[in-house]
Amino acid sequence: MAKIGVFICHCGENIGAKIDCNKLAATVGEHPGVAVSVEYKYFCSDPGQESVKKAIRDNNLTGVVVAACSPRMHEATFRKACAEAGLNPYMCEIANIREQCSWVHTDVDMATQKAADITRSMVEKVKRNNKLQPIEVPVTRRALVIGGGIAGIQAALDIANAGQEVVLVEREPSLGGHMAQLSETFPTLDCSQCIMTPRMVEAAQHPKIRLLTYAEIVHVDGYIGNFKVKVKMKARYVDMDSCTGCGDCITKCPQKKIESEFDCSIGMRTAIYTPFAQSVPNKPVIDKANCTYFKNGKCKICMRSCQINAINFDMQDEFIDLEVGAIVVATGFQVQNNAVYGEYGYGKYPDVITGLQFERLASASGPTSGKILRPSDGKEPETIVFIQCAGSRDPSKGVRYCSKICCMYTAKHAMLYAHKVHDGKSHVFYMDIRAAGKGYDEFTRRAIEEDEASYVRGRVSKVWQKMNKLMVRGVDTLLGKPVVIAADMVVLATAMVSQPDAKEFAKTIGIGYDEYGFFNEAHLKLRPVESSTAGIFLAGACQSPKDIPDSVAQASASASKVLALFSKQKLEREPVVASNNESTCAGCWGCVLACPYNAIEKKDILDRSGKVIKRVASVNPGLCQGCGTCVTFCRSNSLDLAGFTEKQIFAEVMGL
């Protein structure tokens, strides 16, 4: 006979003000099987939990329903309290009468009635709950870090420095990511490569880090503590072990006019190339699409120039299988294609460039060796117009968010320009100056006050060419007047957007993403570095636009989460898994098709002589994530899902 205890929480005024808790306790108390029905101001408090435990012990309760806030809030709290009172924690259910009742309804009678329905429904469910045991799974103490930008490198180094193994996968030929492309960094104006390249080298040489560059994640299987990952090592056509990185092949390559991705198309590279001079590893790859040999079947000049025969045109893509316990996703961002702004003439006028292109111009290692020169004629610009929010905060172009870094890097660009071209004049069109961060507002003020950047509050409506000049028409909203500026160069503070294949990638590894393709965290405030999938963590701009300090902080936070995971011998996970009744299973394999995790296997039932008499489905509880799709699919009702059984759900419906 069920003896259910119902504990109705006032949550101070949160529930108490909109729901007549006294009446609710009385109503639910009359429900069959309810042995205790009490109310209290804060059940989550220490005395509240103690009273729940006491009620369990005194009344020998078989189940508990706490009518309170969302189970996402305090389910764990009350399950723990139940366990401490000797009740199986899975005999505790939460009736959500705060988020889904008292907070959203105004009529006390209606809300109380709804709360009673919700609570009774949970009472009916809990009567049919089973005593479950958490599932223990082993942990593979090796982490996979995807993305070799600053976030990925930081996460990999933090994990490796704590003594755990790391596999760092980067899809480009070199580590570095976007940070390696930058000239100087705000707000200190220290050289980006000077702080970045030592970290790249440290990651590459770390004994605990296995570095896989020019590699991509193809497939991820498994679950927290036990992921199986397939990595594609793209054919480099250069043997990594024997190549010394002398660069002879690069100087000999006849294809010299390929737009360099690293230099954002304002510099050129060869077909056999390293992305930049400080690449790690400093070993070239052959760009198959642009290589003369691959296009015409003739050339191989690089092969002849290589004195140690490291070049091999027959190399094929290879696949590596990895077993890891945790994954840190640090796949970074891309800059928006500014061609969406036809009125700014990006792509039409060579001297309209993006912020990242300006970084390459200003970088000492860039195509102009750090001189600010116009891409069209190589002349030093006398006037530059910077247009902020070129993409960000513009719903019509699909980017409603603020890219967060553009105000800062535009101020930095104006400063770098002032430092390099002393009589140059810069104008910055802005919507708002968002300079929140340590030393950030001081930095933008410096750009305005010391380096004399002229800030114009307003938007630019059109850029057109007139003789040798780019005419920029905008509005100064503070003066209430239209302005036209004749500029030599226009720099667009381009929006940060997600990687073009971010959504595909998220599906491959099984994490959520938002409408923009940025990966979703488990909780925006309280679990900002965990993805919705246990064991997969996020770092850097793949989650949302971030600057370097934020990316590094998040990477270290992810690393600490990984290390916490690795500190355990075994992991416990929720026993919400499917199981099969083998005596009724007909072996139709519908469930095998339905399962997203390949958690259902075919199992032979043998007779005593070892002859197969029947083949049935068998759920691997380690792989099962508990979605229940198979249960609904099952034609013979053989499968059921612990915690959400057919009986429980029908009872919930009937209890309403």
Instruction: State the residues that interact with other proteins by CB under 8 A.
Output: 70-72, 96, 98-101, 103-107, 110-111, 113-114, 117-118, 121, 503, 507, 510, 512-514, 532-533, 576, 594, 596-597, 625-629, 631-633, 641, 643-644, 646, 649-650, 652-654, 656
For other proteins, the closer of residues 379 and 507 by Cβ is 507
Q: Which tokens belong to 330? A: 């640090």
CB of 508 to other proteins, least distance (A): 10
For other proteins, the closer of residues 7 and 597 by Cβ is 597
CB of 71 to other proteins, least distance (A): 8
Q: What's the start-to-end Cα distance of the chain, in Å?
A: 21
For other proteins, the closer of residues 59 and 598 by Cβ is 598
Beta-bridged to residue 216, according to DSSP, are: 232
For other proteins, the closer of residues 72 and 257 by Cβ is 72
φ, ψ of residue 482 to 5 degrees: the values are -75, 150
For other proteins, the closer of residues 25 and 101 by Cβ is 101
For other proteins, the closer of residues 375 and 643 by Cβ is 643
CB of 98 to other proteins, least distance (A): 7
Whether the CA torsion 46, 52, 57, 59 is positive or negative: it is positive
CB of 502 to other proteins, least distance (A): 12
Can you spell out the DSSP letters for 168-215? EEESSSSS-TTGGG-SEETTTTEEHHHHHHHHHHHHHH-TTEEEEESE
CB of 7 to other proteins, least distance (A): 19
CA 350 to the chain's CA centroid: 34
Separation of alpha carbons 189 and 192, rounded Å = 8
For other proteins, the closer of residues 383 and 625 by Cβ is 625
CB of 129 to other proteins, least distance (A): 14
CB of 630 to other proteins, least distance (A): 8
CB of 591 to other proteins, least distance (A): 11
For other proteins, the closer of residues 176 and 655 by Cβ is 655
3-state SS class at 155? helix
CB of 392 to other proteins, least distance (A): 19
Beta-bridged to residue 464, according to DSSP, are: 471
Separation of alpha carbons 436 and 153, rounded Å = 25
Which is nearest to 79 in space by CA: 456, 643, 554?
Answer: 643
Separation of alpha carbons 361 and 358, rounded Å = 5
For other proteins, the closer of residues 117 and 476 by Cβ is 117
- Count the alpha carbons within 13 Å of 606 in the hemisphere toward its beta carbon: 4
Separation of alpha carbons 97 and 165, rounded Å = 46
H-helix segments, 510-589: 548-566
Could you count the other beta carbons within 10 Å of the beta carbon of residue 163?
A: 10
Beta-bridged to residue 353, according to DSSP, are: 491
CB of 238 to other proteins, least distance (A): 37
Separation of alpha carbons 200 and 179, rounded Å = 11
H-helix segments, 253-325: 292-296, 301-305
For other proteins, the closer of residues 34 and 116 by Cβ is 116
Which is nearest to 571 in space by CA: 80, 132, 134, 76?
Answer: 134
CB of 580 to other proteins, least distance (A): 16
Distances (CA, A) of 486 to 34, 150, 384, 625: 80, 38, 9, 61
For other proteins, the closer of residues 473 and 503 by Cβ is 503
CB of 542 to other proteins, least distance (A): 16
Give the CA angle between residues 549, 552, 557 to the nearest 5°.
125
Q: Which tokens belong to 508? A: 């491959």
Can you spell out the DSSP letters for 323-392? EESEEEE---EEE--GGG-GGGTBTTBTTEEEHHHHHHHHSTTSTTTT----TTT-PPPSEEEEEEEEBT
For other proteins, the closer of residues 205 and 632 by Cβ is 632
Q: Are 557 and 543 in contact (CB under 8 A)?
A: no
Residue type, position 111, single letter: A
Which is nearest to 579 in space by CA: 612, 626, 647?
Answer: 626
For other proteins, the closer of residues 35 and 502 by Cβ is 502
CB of 598 to other proteins, least distance (A): 11
CB of 225 to other proteins, least distance (A): 18
For other proteins, the closer of residues 189 and 627 by Cβ is 627
φ, ψ of residue 563 to 5 degrees: the values are -65, -35
For other proteins, the closer of residues 122 and 212 by Cβ is 122
Separation of alpha carbons 106 and 656, rounded Å = 21
Q: Which tokens belong to 74? A: 């305090």
H-helix segments, 483-606: 502-509, 548-566, 590-594
CB of 512 to other proteins, least distance (A): 6
Cis, bond preceding 275 (omega within 30 deg of 0): no
